[in-house]
Structure 1
């Protein structure tokens, strides 16, 4: 449904996008993450027919954004990181304008406006001026504009930026609902914990180059040459620390309130052997688990913090 093929975009001597390729299948959510200036927005604008690549091509449902932009736009809903509004315009008028711009007429236009307002929770705000909306409601209105012509593909650039916790949760539910209905979604965000919850795959971009493209679980597996474990002890911890110090695979042992955190090199069998040794020494183990890596941890591992 979405495909970038070896896309490059130059601004002078700067490679904003550098030979980026990825695909997003129908009905899935692809999270696009990277630092400011990494090339996320430029990639999205190329897909949305708002920017031409220096080399390569971008496709929506097999149609080239470069060679067939009109047909691409009929299949695509684009939500930019900031959107303009018109003075003295209320929500209903705003959506009606974009419905007409997308060629909707008569009952179909009325039906789509009503559906969008109901789906985004804007029905009670229909007559309210856009300038009087909260940040969360403005984001809902911008999403509604992207949905007004019932596109099969959505590109959302930082839709959760500046939203309060409740608004972010509600937006996440809306996005998952759209994916469940078969829409394909490319979304960028700096709130990585939320992307981990809603995305089927994530792509990590830095200095214009795509460094990773995998599921969150796949990224964890690829990045782990070691595991961090936690063991919670009921009673004294000296015996447990002595046993860990004797294990060649164990390093970086830290104690805090009868909880030991340590790093284990090697495979799952080493984790099992360590637990057996603790139990054989009659250490009262209350909890023994792997420290789960977050998407933020994976992002820091994959990227180097470079900007351009």
Structure 2
């Protein structure tokens, strides 16, 4: 649905996007992760047709945005991170105004507005001024406005930012329903746990480039297979330490008495093999647990420089 190829964008002398390449599958609910300054907002605004790219190519539904920007924009609905309220407009007037921007008038505009306001839970607030709405209601109204022309692609910049838990949950439910109806949704969020709960795919941006991308379930599987192992033994610490240091799946090991913390990059089969080796060596294992993983840990591993790991062991290990 959305294909970025070697996209570059600079502001004066600051290059924000540095040859970024990314593909957003049709029908996906695609999340962008990245620290402040990673290029998320710039990427979203280019995707929405609000910023021109300096070089590279962007296809929206197969349409080259440089060659036919008007046609591409008709496929897109954009929800910014700020509402931009119209002080003297009611909710119904607000929707009618944006409907007219896309050539919808009269009965067709009214029916479309009523349907969308019902979907976002604002049917009872049609006569309210938009400035009287809560932050959560304004965000839902902004989403309804973005849907007025029935776009194929929705682009949302931090849609849950500043919302209370109830409003955040309602918005997530609505995005899930829109995704199931066939809409392609591209969004960014600082709430990484939300991305893992609602997104089908994610991409990690760092300093203007894509560091990792894939289906959420595959990313979580990678996380699970790279999480630390915590091993506790009753005795035989020296034997266990020797085995850990020579195992190809153990990048580093830290020891505190009979407790070991392993940076382990192996699969579940590799875990089972290591446990069996300890048993065969008659090392009594008290516990053998892989730590749970999260998108937060994956994000930090992708965007923060890896610290140098040090093997810590008992002082008498030199007697081995």
The normalised TM-score by structure 1 is 0.85
Corresponding residue for 1:100? 100
* CA distance, structure 2, for counterparts of residue 270 and residue 86 of structure 1: 60
CA contact (8 A) 2:224 2:292 kept: no
- The range that moved more, 8-17 or 276-285, is 276-285
CA contact (8 A) 1:254 1:262 kept: no
C-alpha displacement of 1:25? 1.6
Could you list the per-position Cα deviations for residues 94-127 of structure 1 after superposition, in whole angstroms to 9, with x for gaps in the alignment? 1111111111123221121011111111112222
Relative to structure 1, is the Cα distance of residues 228 and 137 closer, same or farther in structure 2, using a 3 angstrom cutoff? same
Corresponding residue for 2:87? 87
Which stretches of structure 1, 4 residues or longer, exceed 3 Å deviation after superposition?
Answer: 216-227, 237-247, 258-270, 273-285
May I ask how many residue pairs the two structures share in their alignment? 297
The normalised TM-score by structure 2 is 0.82
Corresponding residue for 1:247? 243
Corresponding residue for 1:153? 153
Write out aligned runs for 1:1-308 (5 A): 1-219=1-219, 226-230=226-230, 238-239=234-235, 244-245=240-241, 247-248=243-244, 249=247, 251-253=253-255, 262-264=262-264, 266-276=266-276, 277=278, 289-304=289-304
CA contact (8 A) 2:130 2:138 kept: yes
* CA distance, structure 1, for counterparts of residue 128 and residue 236 of structure 2: 64
Could you list the per-position Cα deviations for residues 150-191 of structure 1 after superposition, in whole angstroms to 9, with x for gaps in the alignment? 111100111010111222121111111111000001111111
* CA distance, structure 1, for counterparts of residue 4 and residue 217 of structure 2: 23
Relative to structure 1, is the Cα distance of residues 218 and 281 closer, same or farther in structure 2, using a 3 angstrom cutoff? same
Where 1:247 maps in the other structure, the secondary structure is: helix
CA contact (8 A) 2:223 2:294 kept: no
Could you list the per-position Cα deviations for residues 238-261 of structure 1 after superposition, in whole angstroms to 9, with x for gaps in the alignment? 348677546324623569xx9976
Relative to structure 1, is the Cα distance of residues 282 and 34 closer, same or farther in structure 2, using a 3 angstrom cutoff? closer
* CA distance, structure 1, for counterparts of residue 289 and residue 107 of structure 2: 58
* CA distance, structure 2, for counterparts of residue 252 and residue 300 of structure 1: 20
* CA distance, structure 1, for counterparts of residue 124 and residue 18 of structure 2: 45
CA contact (8 A) 1:65 1:72 kept: yes
Unaligned runs of 5+ in 2: 306-320
Could you list the per-position Cα deviations for residues 190-221 of structure 1 after superposition, in whole angstroms to 9, with x for gaps in the alignment? 11110111112211112211222222344456
CA contact (8 A) 1:240 1:278 kept: no
C-alpha displacement of 1:66? 2.1
- The range that moved more, 117-126 or 289-298, is 289-298
